[in-house]
Chain A
Amino acid sequence: MITDIHGFWAFLQASPLLWLAVTLVAYQIAYAIYLRAGRNPLVNPVLVSITLIITVLLATRTPYPTYFDGARLVHFLIGPATVAMAVPLYAHSERLRSMLLPLGGALLVGSATAIISAVAIGSLFGASTETLLSLAPKSTTMPIAMGITEKIGGSPSLTSLMVTLTGISGATMAGWLLKLVRIDDVATRGFAIGVTAHAIGTAYTFQLGEVAVAFAAIGMGMNGVLTTILVPMLLRLLMRH
């Protein structure tokens, strides 16, 4: 009987069924908490979900790669969802086109600030060189950031941590920070969130409406491309000192 249970557990652990179920149930719980808390960004669904899942993984001594193998199907849907962003973008294309120059200017400032502030704060508080290199592309989406880090000699998995923390920080502080600097325009809010906090920020903009999503998506996309160009250039300047 005991061996049966162990065998069954081994089977479950290796099959996608268990980890897909854990991921979806954790998200449902996290989302219910989020709604109950009046969409308070401190209980951001991503943050609560990963806390629940990590607790389950640690309690069952399941290594992360085993979990990720199982939950791969959910992870895969990031790609189609990214492509689907063309729909809100198209719906607001007229407004986007009329704002192209201001958006470009703001992007240049935002992208450079993201890289310089990360490396400056990191080195000020004594981060190692490997951590600094992994910090630089942290405001872009995960796949772009990991590609950049590989090229400049940082650690891709450490970058994924930094990208995650930046996304959660950005989504959590967006509400009060943008109120603090008195930004009322939904398009401006969306763009700043997309540039800073990539996909996690863009997911957060869904509660601000379709306009914010469109501008967050364009901010995220444009920043991804610009960061690949800026990181090697800025690092050469920054690392000299």
Chain B
Amino acid sequence: MAAGVFHKWPLRRLRPLPIVKLARSVAQRRPIGKTTMVFALAVILVFQLGGEIIVHLFALPVPGPVVGLVLLYVALTINGGVPDNFRASATVLLQHLMLFLIPATTGLMMHFRRLGDEWLPILLAALGGAAVTMALTAVTLRLLLATRRAP
């Protein structure tokens, strides 16, 4: 029976083209090989570029990468899932987000003088503002989720 089906599909018996073989091996390889990591980075950079172009064209007040995030989200929704090796590459990037923030954060050293002059209001606004904001946001969200579940 199975053999009969295959006879109706002569293409199945042809040897796959090398490019098809390559694509298949790339798609099936679970650990991140060089090819897949670079492929994922290429996809991500193209989406970032798209975001940057849209921001420029429409003079949006948001950064290009945030629009790129939205574009990639839409693309994943259309695709109906995240390819395994793409997910692995994205996770590697996200795990080291703290590292990427370091060069900009080091810019703090440019403001030692201002920190000396206005350290009290600056420190209190940063600490107090963060505490009040975080607590109020969390409590509001819990309240809204609870009232919605209640009825």
Q: Is A149 an interface residue (CB 8 A)?
A: no
Q: Which residues 26-57 in A have Cβ within 8 Å of B in the complex?
A: 26-27, 45-46, 49-50, 53-54, 57
Distance (whole angstroms) from the CB of B96 to the closest CB of chain A? 8
| Closest residue on chain A to residue B45 by CB atoms | A80
Chain B residues within 8 Å of A26, by CB = 102
Q: Is A178 an interface residue (CB 8 A)?
A: yes
| Closest residue on chain A to residue B79 by CB atoms | A90
| B94:A189 contact, CB within 8 angstroms | no
Chain B residues within 8 Å of A126, by CB = 118, 120-121
How would residues 78 to 91 of chain B score, 1 for a CB under 8 Å from any chain A CB and 0 otherwise? 00001000110111
**A188→B139 CA distance, assembly (Å):** 9
| B133:A79 contact, CB within 8 angstroms | no
| B128:A53 contact, CB within 8 angstroms | no
Chain B residues within 8 Å of A90, by CB = 73, 76-77, 82
**A29→B104 CA distance, assembly (Å):** 19
| B128:A117 contact, CB within 8 angstroms | yes
| A74:B102 contact, CB within 8 angstroms | yes
> Known contacts A109-B136, A181-B138; is A86 also within 8 Å of B69 by CB?
yes
| A181:B139 contact, CB within 8 angstroms | yes
| B93:A74 contact, CB within 8 angstroms | no
Question: What bracket does the count of chain B residues touching chain A fall in?
Answer: 35 or more
Contact of B109 among A58, A81, A224 (CB under 8 A): A58
Chain A residues within 8 Å of B66, by CB = 82, 221, 224-225
Q: Which residues 186-208 in A have Cβ within 8 Å of B in the complex?
A: 188-189, 191-193, 195-197, 199-200, 202-204, 206
| A117:B103 contact, CB within 8 angstroms | no
Q: Is B4 an interface residue (CB 8 A)?
A: no
Chain B residues within 8 Å of A121, by CB = 121, 124-125, 128-129
Chain A residues within 8 Å of B70, by CB = 86
Distance (whole angstroms) from the CB of B60 to the closest CB of chain A? 9
| B114:A110 contact, CB within 8 angstroms | no
Q: Which residues of B contact A (CB under 8 A)?
A: 41, 44-45, 47-48, 51, 61-66, 68-70, 72-73, 76-77, 82, 86-87, 89-91, 93-111, 114-115, 118, 120-142, 144-145, 148
Can you name 13 extra interface pairs (CB under 8 A) apart from A83-B51, A206-B97? A53-B106, A75-B103, A85-B94, A88-B94, A125-B120, A161-B122, A165-B108, A165-B126, A183-B142, A185-B142, A195-B137, A203-B98, A217-B69
Query: 28 A-B contacts, Cβ less than 8 Å apart?
Result: A27-B98, A45-B98, A50-B106, A64-B106, A71-B103, A81-B94, A84-B93, A85-B94, A86-B47, A89-B69, A105-B141, A105-B144, A110-B134, A121-B129, A127-B125, A161-B110, A161-B111, A169-B126, A178-B134, A183-B138, A185-B142, A196-B133, A196-B137, A200-B101, A203-B98, A204-B98, A206-B94, A217-B69
